[in-house]
Chains A and B, each alone.
Chain A
Amino acid sequence: MDAILLQILNGLDKSSAYAMIALGLTLIFGTLGVVNFAHGALFMLGAFCAVTVHRLLSLDIVTLSATEKTAWGTPMEIRTPYAEAWFGDFGTWLIDWSVPVSILVAIPFMLLFGVLMERGLIRHFYKRPHAEQILVTFGLAIVLQEIIKSWFGANPIPQPAPEALRGMIDFGAAIGLEAGNVVYPAWRFIYFLFAMGVIGIVFAFLRYTTFGMVVRAGMADRETVGLLGINIDRRFTITFGAAAAIAGLAGVMYTPILSPDYHLGMDFLVLSFVVVVVGGMGSLPGAVAAGFLLGILQSFASMNEVKSLLPGIDQIIIYLVAVVILLTRPRGLMGRKGVMET
């Protein structure tokens, strides 16, 4: 029981990331019909938003101490971040909470980036074959990751979680099992809650707002919506921006779990695509469900008991599931009948 619970928990953080990226991919595919291979790069850009904000906040002034001396007898240098010098305790808090605070920066930045990307590049590829869409977004992904590499270097840059959230949560004790058996890092749980929140907001937005209604109608039949006199293109552009923002947010909050480096996006992209396909191209609930399903399956497959039974299974489980699903039920777990079924 403990072991099963622990494996589910262990899979949660990755699953949440898969689910959010896959959700954005599906939004883009469902609305614009574009296969976006640069989505992983957007995830990475989000992560580097957090890095940038942290760096900006920790820019510091050097002052000379009046009392303390170094070993050489010169006055000791004291580095105070500007944020602290200007805002005092609030500044200290700001630096400590830099990762959540970056969300405020990441949302507008990623929205803008998504809109620019759609208007500047993707728009010209609606009518082109899927293969060319894949290729041009793949090229964009290379460009983005190389730019990040030349600015931030090739090494992972660790980002601390806020001090208050760095501890562990004792899950076993919370639900009445023996204490100390099922402990789990607090930040990962926060990440899961955050992902659920974002996913919930997206679904609520699509379900209960007029904008969302129009987007859903556009996903079903773009032409008819256009004929009704609605500017569907603009709404789809904003949807693209939103999808980019979701990927960015997923990236921002993931930084304390995995130190971001420039190929972070590529690592997640392949798996997210598998997730989208397993869930069903164009199905939003499918993307989320498949994200959690595959993430948790992967975590179970890496248990020692399973590994000794089927060596190597932890490495290939996700792909294996994808192959089986694609061959037996090509529209995916929750895909609509007739969408990309060949």
Chain B
Amino acid sequence: MTVSSSSPRGDMLMMLGMIVAIVFGPIILAPFGAGYPDLMQKFAIYGIFAIGFNILFGLTGYLSFGHAAFLGVGSYSAVWMFKLLSMNVIPALILAILISGLFALVIGFITLRRSGIYFAILTLAFAQMSYNLAYSVLTPITNGETGLQLLLDDPRILDAPLASGDLPLANLFGLQMNSTYETSFLGMTLYFNAGYYLCGVILLVAFYFAMRIFRSPLGMMLKAIKSNQNRLNYTGVNTRPYTLTAFVISGIYAGLAGGLLACTDPLAGAERMQWTASGEVVLMTILGGAGTLLGPIIGAGAIKYFENIFSAFNESELNAVFSFLPDGLREAVVSVASTFVGEGWQLTLGVLFMLIVIFLPGGLLEGVRRILSLFNRPPGGGMEERSARVKSAA
């Protein structure tokens, strides 16, 4: 199975690795040109979203095509909390979790009556309904096409009245989300951003929680549902409470991610709920490796990285990259390559995604594992030992 073995030592190492990666994120990512706060926040937020989605899809085997609805609901609730109560992120995140959890409970209660493709269509239908309603009838709550924004005359009962005429920023007990400590290191500028560390800490908690679920009896039950739900039903197990729990948990993760999106940029729009956004999280999870713990985070990071880096490329940069080629050849190469970058980065994403589904259904992590197993062949060791070693390495 793709789920890695549950040795406590392996888990602890993985957790430590995550902590190191998040704490030193700005330093690690800077050489790749990804070390700026905006992108790092996205890595962490979409990591949370994908981890949650993976609990439903990777662990339980239910493919939801409507998960973006929870992301949108989380964003809206967080922004409303900013408007009404306080710019502190804590109440906003709590409300985002509560509302998205409730929403997931209702939708999950209805949609989980079916499985397989019907479940996918049902979730898709609910997400599209939420999206369409957010655009039209629910405008008083969602502010329609403009998106829900902060205004100067919002009540904000708990906050002190605004001193200046500027819009307030989200903060954590006074620490503003966009406050950044800049420093120079080996010629690179490093940004240590408060918003990123908030998202990072929450990502750590979310990751730990997901790991506990994977190792718990509940996780075992969810894996059993994925591998053969009929057999479970025949043995007299009622699977509905378990699937519903998984659905609500993953909905809460999505809502939390949506709330964090609102914390880093206090704006919520309906396009976050569109089905292409739901498709994106599916791509992330598959790309990294569905059913694995680290896979979804890697997938989310990879997609957000490509989105930012590839879409920023333009023709002159390509010309510079391929400058070693003779002129005629270079023009040809650049004209082909330019359809894959800039505006066309989604083409790259689509091609990459197809290749992954066709050749590596286990995602990038499986690729890593396969490569590792090439090098890690023990001299006389049995299959058991080898696979155990490979798994703990991943």
Q: Which residues of B contact A342 (CB under 8 A)?
A: 114-116, 118
Q: Which residues of A contact B279 (CB under 8 A)?
A: 138
Nearest to A146 among chain B residues (CB) is B347
The yes or no answer to A140 lying at the interface (CB within 8 A) is yes
User: Which label, helix, strand, loop or mixed, suits the secondary structure of the B interface?
Assistant: helix
Given contacts A35-B117, A311-B137, A326-B121, contact A140 B343 (CB under 8 A): no
The yes or no answer to B276 lying at the interface (CB within 8 A) is yes
| Complex partner residue of A273 from B115, B116, B121, B357, CB under 8 angstroms | B121
Q: Which residues of A contact B322 (CB under 8 A)?
A: none
| Complex partner residue of A323 from B122, B276, B350, CB under 8 angstroms | B122
- A130 and B353 contact, CB distance less than 8 A: no
The yes or no answer to A113 lying at the interface (CB within 8 A) is no
- B118 and A140 contact, CB distance less than 8 A: no
Q: Find residues 77-117 in chain B having any chain A CB closer than 8 Å to their own CB.
A: 110, 113-117
The yes or no answer to B63 lying at the interface (CB within 8 A) is yes
Given contacts A131-B63, A142-B350, A312-B133, contact A340 B118 (CB under 8 A): yes
- A150 and B276 contact, CB distance less than 8 A: no
How far does the alpha carbon of A150 sit from the alpha carbon of B349 in the complex, in Å? 14
- B114 and A326 contact, CB distance less than 8 A: yes
- B115 and A130 contact, CB distance less than 8 A: no
| Residues of B within 8 A of A (CB-CB), count | 40
Given contacts A146-B346, A323-B125, contact A315 B133 (CB under 8 A): yes
Given contacts A142-B349, A143-B347, A316-B132, contact A132 B361 (CB under 8 A): yes
Number of A-B contacts (CB under 8 A): 109
Q: How far is the CB of A280 from chain B (nearest CB, A)?
A: 12
The yes or no answer to B332 lying at the interface (CB within 8 A) is no
Q: Find residues 306-325 in chain A having any chain B CB closer than 8 Å to their own CB.
A: 311-312, 315-316, 319-320, 322-323
Q: Which residues of A contact B118 (CB under 8 A)?
A: 277, 326, 330, 340, 342
How far does the alpha carbon of A154 sit from the alpha carbon of B63 in the complex, in Å? 30
| Complex partner residue of B126 from A35, A128, A319, CB under 8 angstroms | A319
The yes or no answer to B286 lying at the interface (CB within 8 A) is yes
- A140 and B347 contact, CB distance less than 8 A: no
Q: Find residues 349-364 in chain B having any chain A CB closer than 8 Å to their own CB.
A: 349-351, 353-354, 357-358, 361
| Complex partner residue of A142 from B115, B124, B136, B346, CB under 8 angstroms | B346
Q: Which residues of B contact A140 (CB under 8 A)?
A: 350, 354
User: Which label, helix, strand, loop or mixed, suits the secondary structure of the A interface?
Assistant: helix
Q: How far is the CB of B351 from chain A (nearest CB, A)?
A: 6
How far does the alpha carbon of A342 sit from the alpha carbon of B125 in the complex, in Å? 18
Nearest to B121 among chain A residues (CB) is A277
Q: Which residues of A contact B350 (CB under 8 A)?
A: 139-143, 146
Q: Mark A268-304, 1 if CB is under 8 A from B, else 0.
A: 0010011001000100000000000000000000000
The yes or no answer to A127 lying at the interface (CB within 8 A) is no
The yes or no answer to A337 lying at the interface (CB within 8 A) is no
How far does the alpha carbon of A146 sit from the alpha carbon of B350 in the complex, in Å? 8
How far does the alpha carbon of A327 sit from the alpha carbon of B113 in the complex, in Å? 7
Nearest to A320 among chain B residues (CB) is B129
Given contacts A135-B286, A315-B132, contact A142 B353 (CB under 8 A): yes
Given contacts A142-B346, A312-B137, contact A135 B110 (CB under 8 A): no
Q: Which residues of A contact B137 (CB under 8 A)?
A: 311-312, 315
Q: How far is the CB of A120 from chain B (nearest CB, A)?
A: 11
The yes or no answer to A165 lying at the interface (CB within 8 A) is no
Nearest to A144 among chain B residues (CB) is B350
The yes or no answer to A149 lying at the interface (CB within 8 A) is yes
Of listed B122, B125, B126, B344, residue having the most chain A CB within 10 A: B125
Q: Which residues of B contact A124 (CB under 8 A)?
A: 358
Nearest to B128 among chain A residues (CB) is A319
The yes or no answer to B298 lying at the interface (CB within 8 A) is no
- A136 and B116 contact, CB distance less than 8 A: no
The yes or no answer to B282 lying at the interface (CB within 8 A) is yes
Q: How far is the CB of B172 from chain A (nearest CB, A)?
A: 37
Q: How far is the CB of A307 from chain B (nearest CB, A)?
A: 9
How far does the alpha carbon of A119 sit from the alpha carbon of B361 in the complex, in Å? 20
Q: Which residues of A contact B116 (CB under 8 A)?
A: 130, 340, 342
Of listed A35, A150, A320, residue having the most chain B CB within 10 A: A150
Given contacts A270-B275, A327-B113, A330-B114, contact A143 B354 (CB under 8 A): yes
The yes or no answer to A147 lying at the interface (CB within 8 A) is yes
How far does the alpha carbon of A327 sit from the alpha carbon of B112 in the complex, in Å? 10
Q: Which residues of B contact A330 (CB under 8 A)?
A: 114, 118
Q: Find residues 106-145 in chain A having any chain B CB closer than 8 Å to their own CB.
A: 121, 124, 128, 130-132, 134-136, 138-143
- A274 and B120 contact, CB distance less than 8 A: no
The yes or no answer to B135 lying at the interface (CB within 8 A) is yes
Which 3 A-B residue pairings sit nearest by Cβ, starting from the closest? A312-B137, A142-B350, A315-B132
Q: Which residue numbers of A lie inside 8 Å of B, CB to CB?
A: 35, 121, 124, 128, 130-132, 134-136, 138-143, 146-147, 149-150, 154, 266, 270, 273-274, 277, 281, 311-312, 315-316, 319-320, 322-323, 326-327, 330, 340, 342
Q: Which residue numbers of B lie inside 8 Å of A, CB to CB?
A: 63, 110, 113-118, 120-122, 124-126, 128-129, 132-133, 135-138, 275-276, 279, 282, 286, 339, 343-344, 346-347, 349-351, 353-354, 357-358, 361
Known: A136-B354, A319-B125. 5 other contacts (CB 8 A): A146-B346, A150-B344, A273-B121, A316-B132, A319-B128
Contact sample, A vs B, 6 pairs, CB 8 Å cutoff: A131-B63, A135-B286, A143-B354, A277-B121, A311-B136, A320-B129
